[in-house]
Structure 1
């Protein structure tokens, strides 16, 4: 059940404290609370609850605010609740009207918050929040010279610079090997055999043999070697496949005795399906002498994770979700996320059209790396008057003018800003290891990361807006100060 709160947001000076004080209006949590559009999306969040049945759920502001606090501070779920309980500014950020020393909710509720708030909803909040920030910034900035009025019915002129790129958000799994995966699958099938045997042991004279001690010894014999040969690994994989095959046959016999799998829990049934699929994939690769297979499982606990070939120095393959991201005016947006590898160049048209829907005009230039610069994308951008960065196709000219060299250097400098955003997300906000375990909760955690990054960007811009007039800093240097501030804050 969800109860919508009709009360209007209280100002920070009206927040009741037990020690007769007032909250400061220039505190970062007070400022960020004013930037986030809580009310606009509360109805969409509450639509997933029954209006009459069930216990009252936590408000949308408390649910999303708790996830933002966790990501902003880079702490665990339990530590997040403790920080909220101790800090009145965090309680105000969650929409509470007075300070309370009690826990606002159990730490396990953050798991439910990530399940209830989808990544799509977080992206909508992020877009609306940035729109609110840009409108506020434009209203406070000094008025510029008015351009010539556009003819009625004509398309608006292209404006702004759009930066596109892709990256990978690795999951929290150990580096997978075929032998280790088979060993884990074998142990899980042994646990299921133990559980099923307890249900039907009166009908059997003795327990099915699993040879678990011998199987573990065969696994450790190769796993402990510093440099095991390919022949030894192949032999060990064959043995583990045989053990799993025997265990799956025992499970089938035990199920036939009971005639159902109802006694297995949801977690056990899911693990049985995953272990069976791992056995099928590994058997096919062993028999066909292949090193890869479609939809390859690399983790039993997180079977949705796939290997993403990146080709980066030191990390040729990463295991997690692949993201396609756009960036303009210092703000980043999550446009496409997938657990399977994809060619990010196919997203260019969709991202540019999304930019037009968001701003009302096409970008003046699109700054991308080499993989985006296909003939189809170049022709599509040319039809819409969009300049795509990079050298033109064909044989390079013998002489290059100084203007083109300067333009190419500026384009690379502009495109480097999104690489800095990726570095900030991975070093500062935990995108280098997504700790959520489920498919949809991982997507929510990744989307929250970009929302918090945009909040940090706005806070740094507010600081720069305050300092630049005070120290008489030229507007041309303002962007450099903001980039430097973000770089320092990310370390």
Structure 2
């Protein structure tokens, strides 16, 4: 898994490189010789097995203990949150409803063929052509969107009722994934039907029938106001990043300040003296916690200026620069070089594992560079 994120490549490409790269074989402690690995799915199988056993907190403690000799300032931390996006298409209402209709229609046709039952009349072909025509429109008017949404909701309702009828009248068993997908489609229909009838905001909105755990996360960025993926609150100790909290639902990172400080102290076994965070963390509760624990921050102070305000201003500038360069720079580095731009895993646990290895691959390489530099200094 380390090599996958280090090489920033697909599973198939990783196996091809492993077959031809002696350095990769040496790293994995294998010697293929003239033999070749042909089952590229072994990478996915290993990922699925590891995902079931992943315990982020306990593993990160082990990693920190291995790296602590290369971490010079364990009592200085910075923190921030980012979103690691999943590979899903942009989820408009019409796309989501059509995917549900299309999948359920194909499943019903297969089921009817097996049972020898006549398929329900639905005018599926007509609605398929209407959706294709709609998707090609450059300007999708409100009336067109409403009309298509109403038709797809009615068609999806007909298919859901027919599927229930088949399940009740015939003794047929499907795999667990089928029942999970049916349940997801039923929830999608209920959410979109209520929204269409009332116009109320959808709570816990499902945006993908394949990844029902993904939720829209409003980030407020100019280019990407909404992102779809896992939101991660990271704490960085002397340039080495650790995962404090990860969730596919939106959360307010400002409420995680105290937990982040506690996470760092649990790893380092030392009291935090300096903590850097942006203004969203600067709530009164967090300020009081820092004052009671004598933790210096880069929060803009309230009230009258203290006597040593010039020195504190300089310290805040240094902390803010550290956060803006090292921590926020690590976000872009993870996404650009360590395979976290778009998470291609298919399940929730696999996505968390994917993010975990992406972040700690970057950490391992940074620790390796520090060890090389230290060795070079000792030799010199």
Specify if TM > 0.5.
Answer: yes
Matched, 1:178 2:86: no
Unaligned runs of 5+ in 1: 1-66, 142-157, 472-491
Q: CA deviation at 1:398?
A: 12
Q: CA deviation at 1:99?
A: 4.7
Q: CA deviation at 1:286?
A: 0.3
Matched, 1:345 2:254: yes
Deviation per CA, 1:125-168: give whole Å up to 9, x if none. Answer: 44423322322x48xx9xxxxxxxxxxxxxxxx96311111100
Matched, 1:247 2:196: no
**Mapped contact 1:188–1:271 kept (Cα < 8 A):** no
Q: Distance in 2 between matches of 1:171 and 1:251?
A: 30
Q: CA deviation at 1:460?
A: 2.3
**Mapped contact 1:367–1:389 kept (Cα < 8 A):** yes
Task: Specify the alignment match of 2:311 in structure 1.
Answer: 403
Matched, 1:74 2:8: yes
Matched, 1:194 2:109: yes
Q: CA deviation at 1:397?
A: 5.9
Task: Specify the alignment match of 2:182 in structure 1.
Answer: 272
Deviation per CA, 1:224-264: give whole Å up to 9, x if none. Answer: 21111222211210111011111112222222330x441x3
**Mapped contact 1:192–1:268 kept (Cα < 8 A):** no
Deviation per CA, 1:75-128: give whole Å up to 9, x if none. Answer: 1111212222222222221233x4533245732122221122137446544442
Q: CA deviation at 1:387?
A: 1.5
Ranked by relative contact order (alpha carbons within 8 Å, sequence separation 6 or more), the top structure is 2
Q: 2:322 aligns with which of 392, 405, 414?
A: 414
Unaligned runs of 5+ in 2: none
Task: Specify the alignment match of 2:75 in structure 1.
Answer: 160
Change in 2 beyond 3 A, CA 1:458/1:230:
same
Structure with bigger helix share is 2
Deviation per CA, 1:445-467: give whole Å up to 9, x if none. Answer: 10001110111111222343355
Q: 2:49 aligns with which of 76, 91, 116?
A: 116
Deviation per CA, 1:377-426: give whole Å up to 9, x if none. Answer: 111121111122221135x7699954344233212101111000101001
Task: Specify the alignment match of 1:391 in structure 2.
Answer: 300
Q: Distance in 2 between matches of 1:339 and 1:186?
A: 26
Task: Specify the alignment match of 1:149 in structure 2.
Answer: none
Q: 2:21 aligns with which of 68, 72, 87?
A: 87
**Mapped contact 1:127–1:333 kept (Cα < 8 A):** no
Deviation per CA, 1:282-305: give whole Å up to 9, x if none. Answer: 101101113x31111111111111
Count of matched residue pairs: 378
Instruction: State the secondary structure of the residue aligned to 1:248.
Output: helix
TM-score (norm 1): 0.72
**Mapped contact 1:368–1:415 kept (Cα < 8 A):** yes
Q: CA deviation at 1:208?
A: 1.3
Task: Specify the alignment match of 1:283 in structure 2.
Answer: 193
Task: Specify the alignment match of 2:264 in structure 1.
Answer: 355
Task: Specify the alignment match of 2:121 in structure 1.
Answer: 209
Q: Distance in 2 between matches of 1:377 and 1:403?
A: 22
Q: 1:311 aligns with which of 220, 225, 240?
A: 220
Q: CA deviation at 1:470?
A: 8.1
TM-score (norm 2): 0.92
Task: Specify the alignment match of 1:464 in structure 2.
Answer: 373
Task: Specify the alignment match of 1:4 in structure 2.
Answer: none
Task: Specify the alignment match of 1:324 in structure 2.
Answer: 233
Deviation per CA, 1:146-191: give whole Å up to 9, x if none. Answer: xxxxxxxxxxxx9631111110010011111000100111111111
